[in-house]
């Protein structure tokens, strides 16, 4: 290092507008993404996002800016934001700076890597298409996930996105011996505390890392926490050759934080007020999630859909990166059909005969066809009653209602609320159950016997029959399973 570079690069604040800080450097200008520190002990951290001229940079604060004023001394850290990597980070919870926030001892002597990394080149990516088995029936049967791919959980507030993510963490660690990384972007700190406690009680924390950029933190911190989580995931994939399950809750908050940063930086807003660089920013994050010969990062991302509007630009841009889309339905949640996944709107690029096999593909198509026909018949049933349908249509209704109930499932992470033991169901058992229902093997069994069970082998167990919540069906339809 030259003597000029060895000396600290010191600047001074020239203006402060909320989270946007302009800094003057007379000696040399810090590069883009460099961290700047100010205040006592460097407690105020900023990231350079633009170079205004030969002596001024504009930075976005990653911490609150209380106490910052014009003329205050600013120190160039000489590098970008770094995330800790290594075995020591397992079972710990971090903030965007790599500080532990779980009440445990601080990490020491841990390697830090820049959060600004390039996606793996195409030559290093794996070309194999493999299924990532979740143990959740409706996902594995109708919208199978790709190992090393990206899946989106779409839904409004309160339909079960976080519960579904938590269940997948449990299944990944307990049954597939992988590493799970949970990244909370702009979510409630209460959820983080509950998740940490539940994972510790379940005994899966030793193979899990958690990062949080809480909703009360500045937009700059929320915008970078996803990059920090990916840096950790890339370490386990590339250095330790392990499969990683990266769960992001919520990718919409990443886009939202980017919109706040863009507005603060003075950029002209685009459609519906989103930032003009939304597509580039999202792609920069998503393209780092990939399947290489060393291992795979499989990502499942909760996507909040504003006002349940799937034409919103945030939802549309996110869709373009996904290999599977799992859509949560408020109507199904109100009917007690959990997980509240809409089987007709959810889809996967893996659901082709060449990947899942001809039997799985044909069964999935028949399940969708049966449920779609039932959806079309609901208006007739509501107006005229079930008795006015032909015998063939009544058979379709009976099969569809039994399929809907069989595709519900008790979760391990909700045992304390439901009193039902969680179930992990293999794909073969799920397909066998659906095939037998479609063949009318359970036409003499009450619908409720198929509700909240694992495999069809549990149908005849009286203790497994749970009274399902009342749905908005007609009396005639409600008694359609009577002998």
DSSP string for residues in 420-477: -------HHHHHHHHHHHHTTTTTTS-GGGGTT-SSGGGTT-GGG---PPPPS--HHH
Cα gap 259→274, rounded to integer Å: 6
Cα gap 131→143, rounded to integer Å: 10
**HSE on the CB side for 122, CA within 13 Å?**
0
Contacts of 167 (CB under 8 A, 6+ apart): 136, 411, 412, 413, 414, 422
Q: How many CB atoms lie within 10 A of CB 363?
A: 20
pLDDT at 482: 39
- Residue 76: burial class (beta carbons within 10 Å; 0-12, 13-18, 19+): buried
Secondary structure class of 385 (helix, strand, coil): coil
Dihedral (Cα; 233, 239, 242, 244), 10-degree rounding: 10
Residue numbers annotated as active site:
161, 187-188
Say whether pTM exceeds 0.75: yes
Cα gap 19→219, rounded to integer Å: 8
Dihedral (Cα; 382, 388, 393, 396), 10-degree rounding: 50
pLDDT, mean of each 10-residue run, the chain (483 residues): 64 94 94 94 94 94 93 95 95 93 89 93 86 93 92 84 83 75 87 81 83 92 95 94 89 93 90 90 92 89 85 89 91 92 94 94 97 92 86 93 95 85 93 95 91 89 49 44 39
Residue of 141, 147, 146, 134 lying closest to 360 (CA atoms): 141
pLDDT at 230: 96
Strand partners, 298: 245
Q: Which two tokens stand for residue 196?
A: 């940490």
pLDDT at 449: 92
| CB contact at 8 A, 314 and 274 | yes
- Residue 218: burial class (beta carbons within 10 Å; 0-12, 13-18, 19+): buried
Give the start-end residues of each E strand in 387-432: none
Dihedral (Cα; 312, 313, 315, 321), 10-degree rounding: 160
Secondary structure class of 335 (helix, strand, coil): coil
Secondary structure class of 50 (helix, strand, coil): strand
Cα gap 415→58, rounded to integer Å: 50
């Amino acid at each position: 290092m030259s003597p000029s570079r060895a000396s600290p690069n010191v600047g001074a604040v020239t203006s402060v507008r909320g989270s946007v800080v302009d800094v003057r450097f007379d000696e040399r200008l810090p590069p883009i993404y460099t961290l700047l520190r100010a205040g006592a002990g460097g407690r105020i951290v900023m990231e350079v996002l633009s170079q205004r001229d030969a002596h001024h940079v504009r930075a976005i604060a990653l911490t609150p800016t209380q106490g910052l004023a014009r003329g205050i001394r600013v120190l160039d850290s000489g590098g970008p934001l770094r995330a800790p990597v290594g075995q020591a980070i397992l079972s710990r919870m971090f903030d965007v700076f790599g500080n532990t926030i779980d009440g445990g001892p601080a990490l020491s002597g841990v390697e830090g890597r820049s959060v600004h990394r390039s996606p793996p080149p195409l030559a290093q990516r794996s070309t194999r298409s493999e299924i990532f088995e979740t143990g959740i029936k409706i996902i594995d049967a109708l919208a199978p996930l790709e190992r090393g791919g990206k899946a989106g959980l779409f839904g409004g507030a309160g339909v079960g996105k976080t519960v579904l993510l938590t269940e997948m963490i449990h299944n990944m660690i307990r049954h597939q011996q992988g590493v799970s990384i949970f990244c909370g972007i702009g979510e409630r700190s209460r959820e983080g505390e509950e998740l940490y406690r539940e994972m510790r009680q379940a005994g899966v924390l030793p193979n899990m890392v958690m990062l949080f950029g809480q909703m009360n933190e500045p937009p700059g911190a929320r915008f970078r926490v996803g990059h920090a989580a990916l840096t950790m995931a890339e370490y386990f994939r590339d250095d330790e050759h392990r499969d990683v399950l990266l769960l992001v809750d919520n990718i919409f908050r990443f886009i939202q934080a980017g919109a706040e940063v863009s507005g603060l930086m003075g950029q002209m807003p685009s459609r519906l007020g989103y930032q003009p660089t939304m597509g580039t920013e999202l792609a920069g994050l998503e393209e780092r999630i990939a399947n290489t010969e060393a291992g795979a990062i499989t990502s499942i991302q909760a996507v909040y859909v504003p006002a349940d509007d799937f034409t919103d630009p945030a939802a549309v841009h996110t869709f373009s990166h996904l290999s599977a889309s799992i859509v949560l339905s408020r109507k199904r949640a109100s009917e007690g059909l959990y997980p509240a996944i809409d089987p007709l709107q959810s889809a996967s690029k893996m659901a082709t005969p060449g990947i899942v096999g001809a039997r799985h593909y044909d069964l999935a198509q028949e399940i969708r066809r049966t449920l779609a026909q039932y959806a079309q018949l609901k208006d007739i049933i509501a107006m005229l009653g079930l008795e006015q349908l032909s015998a063939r249509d009544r058979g379709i209704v009976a099969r569809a209602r039994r399929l809907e109930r069989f595709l519900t499932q008790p979760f391990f992470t909700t045992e304390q609320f439901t009193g039902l033991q969680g179930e992990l169901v293999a794909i073969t058992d799920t397909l066998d159950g659906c095939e037998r229902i479609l063949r009318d093997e359970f036409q003499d069994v009450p619908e409720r016997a198929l509700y909240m069970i694992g495999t069809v082998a549990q149908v005849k167990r009286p203790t497994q029959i749970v009274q399902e919540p009342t749905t908005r069906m007609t009396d005639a339809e409600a008694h359609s399973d009577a002998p």
